[in-house]
Amino acid sequence: MSAATARLRPLSRWWESRAPAARDRVFALVVTVLSFVAPLSRIGAQLGALPARDASVASVLLTLGQALPLAVRTRWPALCLAVVGTSFALHESLGCPPTFASLGLYVALYSVGVHQERLRRVVPLAATGGYVVLCVVLHALGSPNGLTDFLVYYMALTAMWALGVLVRERRGHEAERRVRSARAAVAAERSRMARELHDVVTHHVTAMVVQAGAAQYVAESPDRVGEALVAINGTGRRALAELRFLLGVLEATGDSASRTPMPGRVPDLVEQARASGQPVELVEDGEQPDMAVGAHLTVYRVVQESLTNAVKYAAGSRTLVRLAHTPGWTDVEVTTAGTADGTSESAALRGSGPHVSGGRGLTGLGERVEMLGGEFAAGRRSEGGFRVYARIPTGGAV
């Protein structure tokens, strides 16, 4: 990058940060100043080639009439073109000296093409009629220009208007694309939140059902009944905490979203599964690095969904949860010993039950991990049982 480009960058940022009305005022002021500063003051568009006269008060006023209206070219483009066009016509008809402000006619035509909202066909037709009248007046005043000269100049003016129309259409297409992208993002977010709610509700309700079912077989042991009720109570509280987390994410914006507490920890999931009667072992290798919100939540959901499937489809089977932390990555592996007939593996792979229907469950986990740039695999093991594996980048976005 050249030194000149580096010096112009702050000016460009300042210009882009201004409101359109403010930029128009600055632009009109610059054109006005350049119209009275040599050597640019005598450079401009000419039509008719009438004998030039000396500068006068009229020429100064008509110069201002071609420059100052550019201050409203975005807000009132038709009015801007009317004033600039009339000033230009009088300026040429009176044979005033050439002026840089005459370029304002091109800018006004471009502005009509870009910004005119109402009467978008009437304004160009009216401008064409005014141009025809100007050509007739110039010919009557003795202009040496012929029909070809007037037509060529008209084509140049039409090209400026057409350029504005083209820019307007491109902006419209871009706005439509942004709207479609926003709608797609909303749909994707709804789908993501649906998966979140599915994970929370399915996991905890499954655990509570299993715990409540086990409690009826220990009715004669008050201590064990108390333990079962405590486990159910704890599961319900964790479910409420995670639902509050989801509501907090929906309501939070900006910094408040980043401060929303995480829904829980993997050891809590393991303890909850154990309380449901599932023999679960947790092995963690390495030191957990700082993780982005999306990565942390994905690790949690992978373990949560895997344990839910284990409790539902392979109740009582030994389950191993392994977390391996390396710089930039966290590997999650959940393996469950299978039954003799392989029912748990087949059910999970086929997606029976609510866990993977509608793109949720294991399928939803795969989409979530891949969205973060990670890897995901789930399937039966050759030695029996079921395995869920995910490799998640710790810097994954929400």
100 pLDDT more than 70: yes
Range in 12-16, 249-253, 348-352, 384-388 with the lowest mean pLDDT: 348-352
pLDDT of residue 95: 86
- The predicted model scores a pTM of 0.53
pLDDT of residue 258: 45
Task: Report percent pLDDT > 90 for the chain.
Answer: 27
Is 88 in the same domain as 139? yes
pLDDT of residue 352: 40
Q: Are the CB atoms for 89 and 52 separated by under 8 Å?
A: no
| Residue 1 maps to a domain | no
Residue with the larger pLDDT of the pair 364 and 102:
102
pLDDT of residue 12: 67
Is 126 in the same domain as 189? no
| Residue 350 maps to a domain | yes
Range in 85-89, 192-196, 199-203, 216-220 with the lowest mean pLDDT: 216-220
Residue 157 pLDDT class (50, 70, 90 cuts): very high
pLDDT of residue 256: 43
Q: Which residues contact 6 (CB under 8 A, 6 or more apart)?
A: none
Is 65 in the same domain as 190? no
Residue with the larger pLDDT of the pair 321 and 3:
321
- Residue-range definition of the domain harbouring residue 116: 15-145
Task: Report percent pLDDT > 70 for the chain.
Answer: 70
47 pLDDT more than 90: no
| Residue 8 maps to a domain | no
Residue with the larger pLDDT of the pair 195 and 66:
66
Residue 160 pLDDT class (50, 70, 90 cuts): very high
Mean per-residue pLDDT, 282-303 = 84
pLDDT of residue 361: 67
Is 132 in the same domain as 214? no
278 pLDDT more than 80: yes
164 pLDDT more than 80: yes
pLDDT of residue 275: 76
Helices (H), the chain: 3-17, 20-34, 57-67, 77-93, 104-115, 122-140, 147-215, 222-251, 255-258, 266-275, 293-313, 343-350, 362-371
| Residue 166 maps to a domain | no
pLDDT of residue 397: 46
pLDDT of residue 89: 92
Is 126 in the same domain as 268? no
pLDDT of residue 214: 63
319-326 vs 280-285, strand pairing mode: parallel
pLDDT of residue 86: 93
Average model confidence (pLDDT) across the chain:
79
Is 217 in the same domain as 128? no
Is 262 in the same domain as 374? yes
DSSP label of 8: H
Residue 359 pLDDT class (50, 70, 90 cuts): very low
Q: How far apart are the first and last CA of the chain?
A: 34
Write out pLDDT tens, residues 328-338.
Answer: 889 999 999 86
| Residue pointed to by tokens 């030695």 | 383
The residue among 94, 124, 145 that closes a domain is: 145
Q: Give the DSSP per-residue string, 17-57.
A: HS-HHHHHHHHHHHHHHHTTSTTGGG-S---S-PPP----H
The residue among 101, 126, 145 that closes a domain is: 145
| Residue 47 maps to a domain | yes
Residue 355 pLDDT class (50, 70, 90 cuts): very low
356 pLDDT more than 60: no
The residue among 122, 145, 168 that closes a domain is: 145
Is 330 in the same domain as 284? yes
pLDDT of residue 54: 79
Is 199 in the same domain as 248? yes
Q: What is the CATH number of the domain that holds 355?
A: 3.30.565.10
**Type of residue at 201:** V
Counted domains in the chain: 2
Mean per-residue pLDDT, 384-398 = 80
Is 137 in the same domain as 195? no
Is 185 in the same domain as 287? yes
User: Whole-angstrom Cα distance, residue 270 to residue 332?
Assistant: 14
151 pLDDT more than 90: yes
pLDDT of residue 268: 82
